[in-house]
Structure 1
Amino acid sequence: MFRSIGGLALGDFRDRVRRPVYAVTLLAAVILGYLAVPDPQARLVIMNIGGYRGVYDSAYVGTATALAAALWLTLGGFYVVRGAIERDERTGVGRLVAATPLRTPAYLAAKFLSNTMVLGSMVAVLAATAAVMQFARAEDRAIDPVALLTPFVVIALPMAVATAAAALLFETLPLLRGGLGNAGWFFVWLAVAVGSLSERAPFDVLGARHVVEALRAAMVEQGLWKRHSSFSLGLTEEPEPLKSFPWDGFPLTAAFLGGRALLVVAALAVVLLPALWFGRFDPARGTLRPTPQQAAEPGLPPAPAYRGLPATAPAYGNTFGRLLAGELTVIVREATRWWWLGAAILAVVGLAVPSGSVAAVALPLAWVWPVLLWSRLGTRHQSDGMEGLIGAYPAPHRRLLAEWTAGLAVTVLPGLAPLLRMAASGDAPGMAAWLGGALLIPSLALAAGILTRTPRLFQALYPALWYCAFNGLAPLDFMGAVRDGGVPAGPHPLAVAALAGLLLGLTLLTTTVRGAAWTTRRA
Structure 2
Amino acid sequence: MKYFYNLLQADYLQRTRSYSFLITLVFTVYMAYLFVPLHTASYTTLNVPGFKGAYNSAWAGYVSAIMVTVMLSMYGFVLVNSGIKKDMDTEVGLIIACTPISNFNYLLSKMLSNLMVLLTIVCCTFMVSIIMFFIRGSGYPFVLANFVLPYLILPVPAMFLVSALAVLAEVFLGKKTVLQFLLYFMLFGITMAAIKSQHANSLTTLIDPFGLTTITSSIAQEISSGFHTEIKDPSFGFIFSGKKAFQVFIYEGVHWQLPFLISRLLWIGISILLVYVSSFFFHRFDFQQPVSQKKVVAKVKETDGLNLIPKGIHRNLMPALVTDYSIFPFVKTELLLLIRKGNKWFWLVNMGLWIGMCFAPLTIAHAYLLPVLWFLQVTRWSDLTTKEKTNRVHYFTFAAYRPLFRILPAQILSGVLLAIVLALPVILRYAIAGDVYSIVNIINGAILIISLAVCTGIITGGKKLYEIVFFMLSYAVVNKLTFIDYLGSMSHDNRIGYTLILTGLNMTALLISFMVRNYQSRHL
**Which TM-score tier does this pair reach, normalised by the shorter chain?**
0.7 to 0.9
Alpha-carbon separation, structure 2, partners of 1:489 and 1:38: 28
Q: Does 1:214 align with 2:222?
A: no
CA distance in 2, matches of 1:395, 1:327: 17
**CA shift digits 1:131-170 (9 cap, x unpaired):** 0111112224522111111111010111111111111222
Distance 1:154 1:138, change over 3 A: same
Q: Which residue of 2 aligns with 1:72?
A: 71
The answer to whether the Cα contact below 8 Å between 1:182 and 1:456 also exists between their aligned partners in 2 is no
Cα displacement string for residues 481-503 of structure 1 (whole angstroms, at most 9, x for unaligned residues): 1126xx78796112101111111
Tell whether 2:89 aligns with 1:90.
Answer: yes
- C-alpha distance 404-100 of structure 1, shift in aligned 2 (>3 A): same
Kindly indicate whether residue 499 of structure 2 is the aligned counterpart of residue 497 of structure 1: no
* 258-267 or 84-93, larger mean C-alpha shift: 84-93
Given that 1:435 and 1:493 are in contact with CA atoms closer than 8 Å, whether structure 2 keeps it comes out as: no
Task: Give the match for residue 132 of structure 1.
Answer: 131
Quote the Cα distance in structure 2 between the aligned partners of 1:209 and 1:86: 35
1:118 is the counterpart of 2:117: yes
1:248 counterpart SS class: coil
Q: 1:448 aligns with which of 453, 456, 479?
A: 456
| Distance change >3 Å, CA 355–CA 186, structure 1 → 2 | closer
Cα distance 1:111–1:359, how it changes in 2: closer, same or farther (>3 A)?
Answer: closer
Counterpart contact for 2:173–2:180, Cα < 8 Å:
no
Computed over aligned residues only, the root mean square deviation of the Cα atoms, in angstroms, reads 3.0
For 1:71 and 1:443, locate their aligned partners in 2 and report how far apart those are by CA, in whole Å: 29
For 1:309 and 1:375, locate their aligned partners in 2 and report how far apart those are by CA, in whole Å.
Answer: 45
Paired position in structure 1 for 2:236: 233
**Deviation, structure 1 residue 189:** 2.8
Name the CA shift for 1:466/1:20 in 2 (closer, same or farther; >3 Å).
Answer: closer
Counterpart position of 1:350: 357
1:147 maps onto 2:154 in alignment? no
Which secondary structure does the structure 2 equivalent of 1:503 belong to? helix
1:78-107, CA deviations, whole angstroms, 9 ceiling, x for partnerless residues? 222232222223333322222222222112
Alignment of structure 1 residues 411-450 onto 2, 5 Å: 411-450=419-458
What residue in structure 2 maps to residue 17 of structure 1? 16
Q: Distance in 2 between matches of 1:129 and 1:450?
A: 30
The change in CA–CA distance for 1:459 and 1:189 in structure 2 (over 3 A counts) is farther
Letter in 1 for 2:378: V
Does the aligned pair in 1 maintain the 2:381–2:453 contact within 8 Å? yes
1:470 offset after TM fit, Å?
2.2
Distance verdict in 2 for CA 1:255–1:198, change over 3 Å: farther
Q: Structure 1 residues 334, 11: CA separation in 2 closer, same or farther (over 3 Å shift)?
A: closer
Opposite residue 116 of structure 2, the aligned amino acid is M
Tell me the equivalent position of 1:172: 171
Secondary structure (helix, strand or coil) at the match of 1:483 reads coil
- 1:334 and 2:341 are equivalent in the alignment: yes
Whether 1:28 and 2:32 are equivalent positions in the alignment is: no
Residue from 385, 388, 401 that aligns with 1:381 = 388
For 1:21 and 1:428, locate their aligned partners in 2 and report how far apart those are by CA, in whole Å.
Answer: 37
Name the structure 1 match of 2:276.
272
What SS does the corresponding residue of 1:233 show, helix, strand or coil? strand
Whether the 8 Å contact between 2:70 and 2:210 is mirrored in structure 1 is yes
Q: How far did residue 376 of structure 1 move?
A: 3.3
Greater shift in the superposed pair: 417-426 or 363-372:
363-372
CA separation of 1:391 and 1:240: change in aligned 2, threshold 3 A: same
Query: Distance between the aligned counterparts of 1:34 and 1:267, measured in 2?
Result: 30
The aligned amino acid for 1:262 is: L
Give the partner amino acid of 1:239.
Answer: G
1:511 to 505, 513, 517: 517
How far does the alpha carbon of each residue in 1:405-449 deviate from its partner, in whole angstroms, 9 at most, with x for none?
111111111212112222222323322322321221211122233
Asked if structure 2 preserves the Cα contact closer than 8 Å seen for 1:474 and 1:489, the reply is no
Give the aligned partner of residue 156 of structure 1.
Answer: 155
Alpha-carbon distance between aligned partners in 2 of 1:113 and 1:339, rounded to the nearest angstrom: 32
Letter in 1 for 2:453: A
Q: Partners of 1:16 and 1:342 in 2: how far apart?
A: 33
Local SS of the residue matching 1:11: helix
Change (3 A) 1:169 1:246: same
Distance change (3 Å), C-alpha of 1:374 and 1:11:
closer
Partner SS for 1:222 = helix
CA contact 2:55–2:138 (8 Å) conserved in 1: yes
Higher mean C-alpha displacement, 397-406 vs 349-358: 349-358
2-side partners of 1:171 and 1:184: how far apart? 12
> What code does the residue aligned with 1:76 have?
Y
Task: For 2:442, give the aligned amino acid.
Answer: W
Give the AA of the match of 2:505. Answer: L
Say whether the 8 Å CA contact 2:104–2:276 is kept in structure 1: yes
- TM-score normalised by L of structure 1: 0.87
Aligned-partner Cα distance in 1 for 2:382–2:122:
28
Q: Quick check: 1:134–1:141 contact (8 Å CA) kept in 2?
A: no
The equivalent residue for 1:246 is 250
**C-alpha separation between the residues in 2 aligned to 1:410 and 1:511?**
23
Deviation at 1:375?
Answer: 2.5
2:299 corresponds to: none
Q: Alignment partner of 1:195: what SS?
A: helix
Give TM-score, length-normalised by structure 2: 0.87
Whose radius of gyration is greater, 1 or 2? 2
Q: Secondary structure at the match of 1:190?
A: helix
| Offset at residue 314 of structure 1 (A) | 3.4
Structure 2 spans left out of the alignment, 5+ residues:
297-311
Distance 1:244 1:410, change over 3 A: farther
The alpha carbon displacement at 1:308 in A equals 9.2
Would you say the 8 A contact 2:43–2:242 is kept in 1?
no
Asked whether the equivalents of residues 216 and 233 of structure 2 are also in contact (C-alpha less than 8 Å), the reply is no
Does the residue aligned with 1:504 lie in a helix, a strand or coil? helix
Q: Following the alignment from structure 2 to structure 1, what is the Cα–Cα distance between the partners of residues 292 and 365?
A: 56
Deviations 1:352-407 (Å, cap 9, x if unpaired)?
A: 33455454345444444433332232233344443333232232222111111111
Q: Distance in 2 between matches of 1:232 and 1:56?
A: 18
Q: Which amino acid aligns with 2:416?
A: L
The question of 1:396 aligning with 2:400 is answered: no
What CA distance in whole angstroms lies between the structure 1 residues aligned with 2:365 and 2:87?
Answer: 46
Aligned-partner Cα distance in 1 for 2:326–2:375: 31
Q: CA deviation at 1:4?
A: 4.0
Residue identity in the other structure for 2:472: A
The answer to which of 450-459 and 338-347 deviates more is 338-347
Q: How far apart, CA to CA, are the structure 2 residues paired with 1:225 and 1:491?
A: 43
Deviation at 1:26, TM superposition (A): 2.6
Deviations 1:9-47 (A, max 9, x none): 123323333334433233223112111012322223322
Counterpart CA distance in 1 for 2:176 and 2:496 is 35
Q: Is the 8 A contact 1:36 1:64 kept in 2?
A: yes
Alignment partners' CA distance in 1, 2:20 and 2:4: 25
Mark the CA change 1:447 to 1:355 in structure 2 (over 3 Å): closer, same or farther. same
Count of residue pairs brought into register by the alignment? 501
Hey, which bits of structure 1, 4+ residues long, moved more than 6 A?
307-310, 487-491
